Structure 1
Amino acid sequence: MARETLYANGALYTVDAANPHAEAMLVRGERIAAVGSWSSVKAQASKDAEIIDLQGRFAMPAFIDSHLHFAWGSKYLDEVRLREAKTFGDVLDRLKAYAQAHPDRAWIVGSEFSYGYPDLPDGGFHKSLLDQAIADRPVFFRSGMAHAAWVNSKALQLAGITRDTPDPEGGEIVRDASGEPTGWLKEKAWSTFEALVPQASQSAMRSALLRAVKEANRFGLSRVQSAGMDDEAVPLLAEMLANGELSLRFTLSSIVNPDSNLDEVIARVSGWREDLDPDFLDGRVIKFFLDGVLESHTGFMPQGYADKPDETGTCLWKASAYNAAVSRAQQEGFQVWTHAIGTGAIEMALDAYAADGERSRQRRPRVEHCEIPTARDIERFGQIGAIASFQPAMIYPRDQWLGMEGLWEVRVGSESLPRAFPVRSILEAGGPVAFGTDWPIVDLNPLIGIRNAVLRQSRDHQPKDGWVPEQRITVAQALHAYTLGAAFAGHRENDEGSLASGKLADFIVLSDDPLRVEPDRIADIKVLKTIVGGKPVWQEPAA
């Protein structure tokens, strides 16, 4: 008989509309056997059941991150971690300390620098600023948010980039007035450097993945839904699962670019779907990119940018080719996700989904990021059955990227603000919503995003009344988007996302009740325990 554990004396928030609150839960093996009152649940337990007293603590379904890049995030933990830097001086200090601590690294790699360091010298991001810290080794800093990279002179030299190097298709080598590369690279102009950086060994990659899995468990995550760039990690994740080392569930995706062989990508994801255990490694997603980001004027905005009316950004696919690829992927039984940030990209994605009719209703295609849809498109999510996948920590991102909090309005214009990250409007129009992080681009902690979705305000209370406060949502809505909403967005709602009999026993115990504390304190709540499949995988160390 499967092991039984009876969790008693808790404040359980189930995210189950039929039974939202409970005081006890019985776990049998890896699944929930009963949820409800103490007397009703105890009556279903065997005499040998272990009883764990939750001491009145708040418990709820474990979080599901509906959009991140896990292999990339695992690498971030072993790089120069720039997101935490709050000044340019701090960036240089981190660079120097990392170089000193890793004298064997041929390249110094870092991620997620910000735009707005208060002490950044005039002229902005230039190779000379990195040269003064490290000149004898190549330095490669990338920013997923900016879709840009910053490199030193040594890196440019090794890449063979000079004043005579043409811009690659879909990218820009930024140059000074004399035509010399500055060390700032946009979009696909930095792919050359990715290829030059020495690849980690399989052993190092495996260690990094294990470390990242534990980091995810620490933040209360039971599943992460890969938004691409994790293909190389899949064999290692499968090995970890076979060895009993995997305490995190994955939804796996593979990216299709306009020049990709769609048959090869479909074959790859089909192999995952057929060979792997979907409870832990669920291969089901084909991922597309339609545009870039608003911050670097590469989001697709056919109407032009407010600060550069003649620029419309980047559209990476021709509509006919994209529509055909989406239809083919859905016909093969896969879920389609599309990176679409600008107005034109969102409309193009929804047009393709609408054209595929009933298949889209069944497959639940997704629009990732969805920063500035038209009023018409806000209504179409519910009509089509498409998922709006948001990363709420990016809403007024002052806490994540210095100097970028006002950039969105500069790019898009104040008249479009009411439709900025329109979470509430899509929900009110009947559209399904899921939350994630885009880690490592922002912090992995879901509670940061939950606070931000509720307040739309930085930790230092800027803006005073919230940024586009009419798009604020309730705490319950935010919790749903990070649990049952995310499970639905990944076709896992029958097994995950709420505490109900028959579902997998994936849940967390928190230090406070996010439904009761002041919303400003939500990001300070600690995950005390994370249980995945009935097994404890994280416990906060005793103070």
Structure 2
Amino acid sequence: MSPCMRVAVLLSMLVAAQPICAADLMVDHVNGYTLDSSGKLQRFEALLVDDGKVVATGRHADLIKRAGDASVIDGKGRTLLPGLIDAHGHVMGLGAMSLQADLTGTTTLDEALARVKNFAAGHADSPWVLGRGWNQVTWKLGRFPTASELDAVVADRPALLSRVDGHAAWANTAAMRLAGIDRDTKDPSGGRIERDAEGNPTGVFVDGAIDLIANRVPEPTPTQREQALTEALKQMASVGLTGVADAGIDRQTYALYRQFADQGKLSARIYAMIGGTGEDFDAISKDGPLIGYGRDFLTVRSVKLYADGALGSRGAALLTPYADDPHNSGLLFNTPEALTAMISKALGKGYQVCVHAIGDKANREVLDSFAAAYKTSGGKDLRNRIEHAQVVALDDIPRFVDLNLIASMQPTHATSDMNMAEDRVGHERIKGAYAWQRFLEQGTKIAGGSDFPVESPNPFFGLHAAVTRQDHEGHPPGGWYPDQALSITEALRAFTLDAAYAAHQEKTLGTLEPGKWADFILVDQDIFTIDPKKIWSSRVLETWVGGHRVYEQPADETPAEKTAKPDRKKSQD
């Protein structure tokens, strides 16, 4: 053997004696699941990580040989899943709930009033009483609440309480007086003031009318904003969310996110949509899209627009009147020309456009506006989205393919709305509502989300709703329009790979393939083998983002404490 050959052999032996790859973390003995890039489900026993990214998944016997000096975490046979991504939430809104009266889950008007009274008493120094979460449908009230009813518990200062969907607000007399609201106040464009038989405002303001009073509410202080973000991140980590598409931010929130990213305080990856194409968009977009800031913790490359209101408050724009309100067809927020101009402006600067559309008329308007904007501004390849795509005319569903649109949908909206949705739109129109399989069958990607705080941020509630089309008590038997239900693999894909795709992040997030960020969770049960009715009760034991643990279930937290949190009944934001 020549000298050169002997050196080559020695070098090869030295290489073989070393670990095949570098790694600083091994998560071993797990019941692991991930999708691959094609969406096929893969199983594994161990996960190897280096510098926050996945090196490999596979059998224990294979990866232990490659672990080298890596720290080893014993998974103890627990189920490991990719970190879950909420494709449509409101981060600051979730955090703000901790600073306001929470009316979520109240079943009667009296219960809601009692919560407001207690909150007001406990915050006597607050100049306003603010809150969110009421729903007159679950109260079985048959009408909206009134200012006089709210006056009975808060009369000494203004009070403003958002409906659970964020598309209506309930004010007391002091708030209306401060805002100068009386019978002569006209309904603003895209909004409605609820009135009595004499034309007097009753205290409820729908969609665009909310700002008549909300504009008088003092802006939160920087400290309150930081508290809200910290609380939201804490809640998200506790339920296994490692990423979220934040559906509408302003300049102050953008600055706060960058501050937290710089300080290493973001524990979830935020894909933020700029709210509208006005001054905030001009300010934030002046240097172009922000992509992968702070080790991929912050990306701002999209815009959030609104076409209409929500179904629960009858603000969703319908092609024909509401089945249970024949004189009302809902509210469009913009003219077709104005919406097309906003879409064109954002596309022209290279920003993905995400448009809220609930009713079939609103969805058609959005489809028409995208078609018109593409002709003048291009941007068809930007993975534009319709947020909610909730009630769509059957003839319009194929247009999502033609226009290369993603359907950003929230499974728990179906199970929360099933108590009133068909009453609103009738038996025929419901066929194009919450129609997940109709979209999947034509090849449209569904990005799964919750719309928190409209709904709970817990993604296992969404996975459960997607698979069962039932509430947590198993109603209705067999599921609500079960032909539109997803398989558990399809549901997981909506909250991982396709949520990442909808954010242009499928090459770095959404699965546990080599080279992607090691965002994963350990949970207490196998969602692929348990009774689907139990999926919602899954508890997150640990949440890891970029190979770092950001949440561990407290040792003294019982299953009851973890799961006995109220459903957030609503419509949507």
| TM-score > 0.5 by shorter chain | yes
The residue aligned with 2:333 is 316
CA distance in 1, matches of 2:140, 2:427: 28
Q: Deviations over 1:137-173 (max 9, x none)?
A: 2111111526111111111111111222222222222
Normalising by structure 2, report the TM-score. Answer: 0.88
Tell me, yes or no, if structure 1 residue 170 matches structure 2 residue 205.
no
The residue aligned with 1:432 is 445
The residue aligned with 2:6 is none
- The offset of 1:272, in angstroms, is 7.0
After the TM superposition, which residues 509-520 of structure 1 pair with which residues of structure 2 at under 5 Å, given as runs? 509-520=522-533
- The offset of 1:479, in angstroms, is 0.9
- The offset of 1:199, in angstroms, is 1.9
CA contact (8 A) 1:2 1:29 kept: no
CA distance in 1, matches of 2:41, 2:290: 35
Number of corresponding residues: 531
CA distance in 2, matches of 1:146, 1:245: 28
The residue aligned with 2:393 is 374
Q: Deviations over 1:358-383 (max 9, x none)?
A: 95542010010111112232223234
The residue aligned with 1:38 is 60
After the TM superposition, which residues 293-442 of structure 1 pair with which residues of structure 2 at under 5 Å, given as runs? 293-355=310-372, 356=374, 359-397=378-416, 405-442=418-455
- The offset of 1:118, in angstroms, is 4.5
The residue aligned with 1:75 is 96
Structure 2: segments with no counterpart, 5+ residues: 1-20, 557-573
- The offset of 1:107, in angstroms, is 0.5
Aligned partner of 1:269 among 273, 276, 285? 285
In structure 2, relative to structure 1, the CA distance for the partners of 1:313 and 1:271 (3 Å cut) is same
Aligned partner of 1:236 among 256, 269, 273? 256
CA contact (8 A) 2:243 2:269 kept: yes
CA contact (8 A) 1:26 1:34 kept: yes
Higher mean alpha-carbon deviation, 234-243 vs 513-522, is at: 234-243
- The offset of 1:2, in angstroms, is 7.7
In structure 2, relative to structure 1, the CA distance for the partners of 1:298 and 1:117 (3 Å cut) is closer
After the TM superposition, which residues 502-513 of structure 1 pair with which residues of structure 2 at under 5 Å, given as runs? 502-513=515-526
Larger radius of gyration: 2
The residue aligned with 1:140 is 160
Higher mean alpha-carbon deviation, 333-342 vs 15-24, is at: 15-24
Q: Deviations over 1:462-512 (max 9, x none)?
A: 222321111111111111100111000000000000011000010000000
After the TM superposition, which residues 201-212 of structure 1 pair with which residues of structure 2 at under 5 Å, given as runs? 201-212=221-232
CA distance in 2, matches of 1:239, 1:256: 22
Q: SS of the counterpart of 2:333?
A: coil
Tell me, yes or no, if structure 1 residue 20 matches structure 2 residue 42.
yes
Q: SS of the counterpart of 1:14?
A: strand
Aligned partner of 1:103 among 106, 116, 124? 124
CA contact (8 A) 2:22 2:67 kept: no
CA distance in 2, matches of 1:148, 1:69: 17
- The offset of 1:232, in angstroms, is 2.0
Normalising by structure 1, report the TM-score. Answer: 0.93
Aligned partner of 1:247 among 260, 267, 274? 267
CA distance in 2, matches of 1:44, 1:353: 50
Structure 1: segments with no counterpart, 5+ residues: 398-403
- The offset of 1:271, in angstroms, is 3.9
Aligned partner of 2:180 among 160, 179, 187? 160
The residue aligned with 1:401 is none
CA contact (8 A) 1:25 1:34 kept: yes
CA distance in 1, matches of 2:547, 2:166: 40
CA contact (8 A) 1:4 1:29 kept: yes
Aligned partner of 1:523 among 536, 554, 561? 536
Q: Which residue identity does 2:404 align to in structure 1?
A: G
Q: Which residue identity does 1:420 align to in structure 2?
A: A
CA distance in 2, matches of 1:539, 1:165: 52
The residue aligned with 1:195 is 215
- The offset of 1:3, in angstroms, is 6.2
Q: Which residue identity does 1:339 align to in structure 2?
A: H
What is the aligned-residue RMSD (CA, Å)?
2.2
- The offset of 1:391, in angstroms, is 1.1
CA contact (8 A) 2:189 2:208 kept: yes
